[in-house]
Amino acid sequence: MHLARFPRQRFFPAPTPLEQLPNLSRHLGGPEIWIKRDDCTVVASGGNKIRKLEFLAGEALAQGADTLVTQGAVQSNHVRQTAAVAARLGMKCHVLLEHRIETNDPAYLTSGNLFLDRLFGASIEYRPGGTDMNAAAVEAGEKLRAGGAKPYVIPGGGSNRVGALGYVGCAQELMAQADEMGLVIDRVVHATGSAGTQAGLVAGMIGMNANVPVLGIGVRAPRPTQEANVHRLAEEVADYAGIKGGVPRAAVMANCDYVGAGYGQPTEPMREAVTLLARLEGVLLDPVYSGKGMAGLIDLIRRGEIGARERVVFLHTGGSVGLFGYQPFFEAGFAA
């Protein structure tokens, strides 16, 4: 694999920091917990979609596009990051937002990511929950093309073989950092949703023969679906990146026990994880992804499924802007 062969826009100075979380480790009685700060990818307050957008925007510009089209839930971090990237590149941005969660909460419907989408100047259309959003985005792109624009349609979460290259690159970056520091990584843990992050990481680890397991903590789909989605995309991105030999099914591991009532529905373990990281480490997680991912990591440590002597890297995928969309939920916890 040789990522320089793919068109790319650089949006942040790599590597993102790899830091220890000593207070959290002490609080839990081990293991050694490290955090890879992909919440520090600069654009739009950062997050994992920026790595994917380096390759997606690179391809969009190579194709002569002038408009980025994408979709997500109302509080989508991906949409916010896409809107900012478009602004930075002097492109237009058109987004479709799905009412995936039934709520009248003004914080959820107007604050956080939604507010920033508007600030970045994206044009917004809404769709009811349950809409086939990728198909709707393609349709919106066709409409724009008929009107004379040059749209580039990005699937939800930026999760296709082009976007996932960003996390092949992250795997390379992380292992170079660990080797430089003399850090032996026993396991990587992160929140997995539209699958591109885990697919890229798994393919990248295989491409390097790193032998570092990657555990995705699911935020939406049940485990069989999530693992199948990640595996399919890992095979695609491995092939696209020139990684030989395919991706063994066993290399794809997801734990979907921490979703709670559904995508974007707050859980008590998420509240605890977000609050612990804020108060022990001064780190901001998010309610939909990294908060549930960290809740999973904490629970697996407490159950002894992740050993006290391991060295674990939690990939922080960003999303803290979403906290403002859930402010009433957290404030209710402060009062209690």
Ligand X SMILES: *Cc1c(COP(=O)(O)O)cnc(C)c1O
Residues in contact with ligand X by the rule CB under 6 A = 47-48, 77-78, 157, 159, 191-198, 286, 289-290, 317-319
Residue 31 or 319: the one with the smaller Cβ distance to ligand X is 319
159 assigned to active site: no
Instruction: Examine residue 31 and say whether the peptide bond preceding it is cis (omega within 30 degrees of 0).
Output: yes
- Return the SS3 of 105: coil
Nearest partner of 188 among 269, 39, 297, judged by Cα:
297
Q: How far is the CB of 195 from ligand X (least distance, A)?
A: 5
Q: How far is the CB of 309 from ligand X (least distance, A)?
A: 27
Q: What is the DSSP string of 231-278?
A: HHHHHHHHHHHT-TT---GGG-EEE-TT-TTSTT---HHHHHHHHHHH
Mention every residue, 6+ apart, whose C-beta is less than 8 A from residue 192: 198, 216, 217, 218, 219, 226, 230, 254, 293
CA 45/CA 27 separation, integer angstroms: 28
Residue 47 or 204: the one with the smaller Cβ distance to ligand X is 47
Nearest partner of 215 among 178, 172, 251, judged by Cα:
251
Q: How far is the CB of 29 from ligand X (least distance, A)?
A: 27
CA 56/CA 164 separation, integer angstroms: 9
Residue 151 or 293: the one with the smaller Cβ distance to ligand X is 293
Q: How far is the CB of 218 from ligand X (least distance, A)?
A: 9
Residue 70 or 194: the one with the smaller Cβ distance to ligand X is 194
CA 234/CA 251 separation, integer angstroms: 10
Q: Which two tokens stand for residue 199?
A: 């697919």
CB atoms within 10 A of CB 52: 31
Q: How far is the CB of 150 from ligand X (least distance, A)?
A: 26
Choosing from 25, 45, 76, 320, the catalytic residue is 76
Instruction: Examine residue 15 and say whether the peptide bond preceding it is cis (omega within 30 degrees of 0).
Output: yes
Q: How far is the CB of 296 from ligand X (least distance, A)?
A: 12
Residue 144 or 165: the one with the smaller Cβ distance to ligand X is 165
N-terminal to C-terminal alpha carbon distance within the chain: 53
Residue 172 or 192: the one with the smaller Cβ distance to ligand X is 192
Residues serving a catalytic function are 76
